[in-house]
């Protein structure tokens, strides 16, 4: 590997990134749906441009800051995938006035009424998707709830158009088998299609029926009635996805480069200069059959080193030990040795860094900055 700046730093393997993107596109190709990648994982123009032949979308964002940056770069078809807060109405209106095809998300009557009032007073038109709860994971409206049509009625005539429905199968991340992921994919699809039909039966014309999670997108067996798929972590993958059987460890495209700074032989520890500020506090594999601690330890080329994991993390210190509890050969990892740590959750780990040091065939290609803030 060519000389890199001081550690810790975030690495991105471009070949793995491109292979992961191709895998998702190939998986969705038979289903005749649009891929609207969720860029919250990468928050990077250079990464997102690699999703598309023309580099221009459509995309899903998790912050209006992302929407600003991507719109300025030429991405116009943008879904803001978090239920809109009233203090963001004006920001969204500015993007729309500048020419963005921005879609918002709603999942409750209170916000719907506030947005309708704002649209009337500002004479600004909005396009919204209603979020459907397909599995009790987090937010959304049950597909059989009368509130679904009630919200659409509240918005009628206000300048706010209900353009479709969307959902996210968050519980797929707790699956214990591919068969369970496939079942969640069916549940996700059925819920959003049912909700869309209820709205159509009530007289509303919908153009978007949107689903999205990396596990269900890759293992769905049918998307009849769905128009688009949103997913994000598939571009990088991580140890949670590997633990689900969605990818191999060798597919993970991001890692944190760290340096050995000391040893505690009596404790079986190797100390590195990457703590939770570099790796994140995410312990998403702790509830899986194999707990990967704060990350799997690899050599500088990205190959896992035996059963070594980061078992503990302080702010700037990481503690490496053997999963078996026995680490005797400290001479194999002398002070100054550089190691790569594979992340539990790519989104959380990447968020700790300002950008990616991009590798191609083991060489540093350059630096791609990330978008920060809200």
What secondary structure letter does DSSP report for 357? E
Cα distance between residue 131 and residue 104, in whole Å: 10
Cα distance between residue 326 and residue 334, in whole Å: 17
In contact, 88 and 62? CB cutoff 8 Å: no
Please name the helix (run of DSSP H) or strand (run of DSSP E) that holds residue 218, with its range, or none.
helix 214-219
In contact, 36 and 129? CB cutoff 8 Å: no
Map out the domains of the chain with their CATH numbers: 32-235 (3.20.20.10), 253-369 (2.40.37.20)
Task: Measure Cα distances from 321 to 288, 293, 326, 362 in Å.
Answer: 19, 10, 8, 26
Residue 4 has what pLDDT? 64
Cα distance between residue 374 and residue 360, in whole Å: 31
Phi, psi angle pair for 222, to nearest 5°: -175, 135
Q: State the sign of the Cα–Cα–Cα–Cα dihedral 44, 105, 127, 141.
A: positive
In contact, 307 and 296? CB cutoff 8 Å: no
Helix, strand, coil shares, percent, the chain, to 5? 35, 25, 40
Pairing of β 296-298 and β 101-106:
unpaired
For the chain, give the number of residues. Answer: 374
Low-confidence ranges of the chain (pLDDT < 70): 1-4, 328
Residue 3 has what pLDDT? 60
What secondary structure letter does DSSP report for 76? -
Residue 5 has what pLDDT? 75
Query: Both tokens of residue 251?
Result: 């597919």
Question: Cis omega (within 30 of 0) on the bond before 68?
Answer: no
Cα distance between residue 91 and residue 89, in whole Å: 6
Q: For the segment 104-140, what is each residue's pLDDT rounded down to a tens digit?
A: 999 999 999 999 999 999 999 999 999 999 988 888 9
Residue 55 has what pLDDT? 73
Cα distance between residue 308 and residue 144, in whole Å: 48
Cα distance between residue 313 and residue 277, in whole Å: 9
Q: For the segment 280-291, what is each residue's pLDDT rounded down to a tens digit?
A: 999 999 999 999
Cα distance between residue 220 and residue 72, in whole Å: 34
Phi, psi angle pair for 162, to nearest 5°: -85, 105
Cα distance between residue 316 and residue 338, in whole Å: 16
Phi, psi angle pair for 351, to nearest 5°: -65, -15
Of 226, 223, 168, nearest in space to 197 by CA: 226
In contact, 279 and 295? CB cutoff 8 Å: yes
Of 76, 150, 139, nearest in space to 105 by CA: 139
Residue 326 has what pLDDT? 72
Cα distance between residue 4 and residue 339, in whole Å: 13
What average pLDDT does the structure give for the chain?
95
């Amino acid at each position: 590997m060519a000389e890199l700046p001081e550690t810790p730093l975030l690495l991105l393997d471009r070949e793995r990134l491109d292979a992961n993107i191709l895998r998702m596109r190939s998986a969705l190709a038979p289903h005749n749906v649009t891929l609207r990648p969720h860029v919250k994982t990468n928050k990077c123009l250079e990464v997102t441009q690699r999703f598309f032949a023309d580099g221009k979308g459509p995309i899903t964002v998790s912050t209006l800051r992302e929407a600003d940056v991507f719109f300025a770069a030429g991405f116009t078809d943008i879904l803001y995938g978090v239920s809109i807060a009233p203090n963001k109405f004006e920001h969204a209106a500015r993007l729309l006035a500048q020419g963005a095809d921005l879609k918002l998300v709603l999942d409750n009557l209170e916000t719907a009424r506030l947005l309708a009032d704002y649209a009337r007073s500002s004479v600004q038109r909005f396009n919204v998707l209603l979020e459907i709860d397909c599995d009790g994971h987090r937010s959304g409206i049950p597909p059989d709830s009368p509130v679904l049509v009630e919200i659409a009625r509240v918005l009628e005539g206000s300048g706010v158009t209900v353009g479709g429905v969307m959902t996210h199968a968050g519980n797929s991340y707790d699956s214990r088998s591919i068969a369970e992921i496939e079942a969640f994919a069916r549940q996700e699809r059925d819920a959003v299609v049912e909700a869309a039909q209820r709205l159509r039966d009530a007289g509303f014309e919908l153009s978007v029926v949107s689903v999205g999670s990396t596990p269900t997108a890759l293992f769905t067996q049918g998307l009849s009635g769905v128009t688009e798929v949103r997913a994000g972590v598939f571009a990088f993958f991580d140890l949670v996805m590997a633990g689900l059987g969605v990818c191999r460890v060798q597919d993970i495209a991001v890692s944190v480069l760290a340096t050995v700074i000391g040893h505690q032989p009596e404790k079986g520890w190797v100390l590195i200069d990457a703590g939770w500020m570099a790796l994140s506090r995410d312990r998403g594999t702790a509830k899986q059959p194999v707990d990967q601690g704060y990350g799997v330890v690899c050599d500088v080329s990205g190959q896992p080193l035996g059963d070594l994991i980061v078992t503990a993390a302080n702010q700037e210190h990481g503690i490496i030990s053997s999963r078996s509890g026995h680490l005797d050969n400290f001479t194999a990892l002398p002070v100054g040795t550089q190691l790569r740590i594979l992340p539990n959750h790519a989104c959380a780990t990447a968020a700790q860094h300002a950008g990616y040091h991009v590798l191609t065939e083991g060489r540093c290609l350059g630096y791609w900055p990330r978008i920060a803030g809200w």
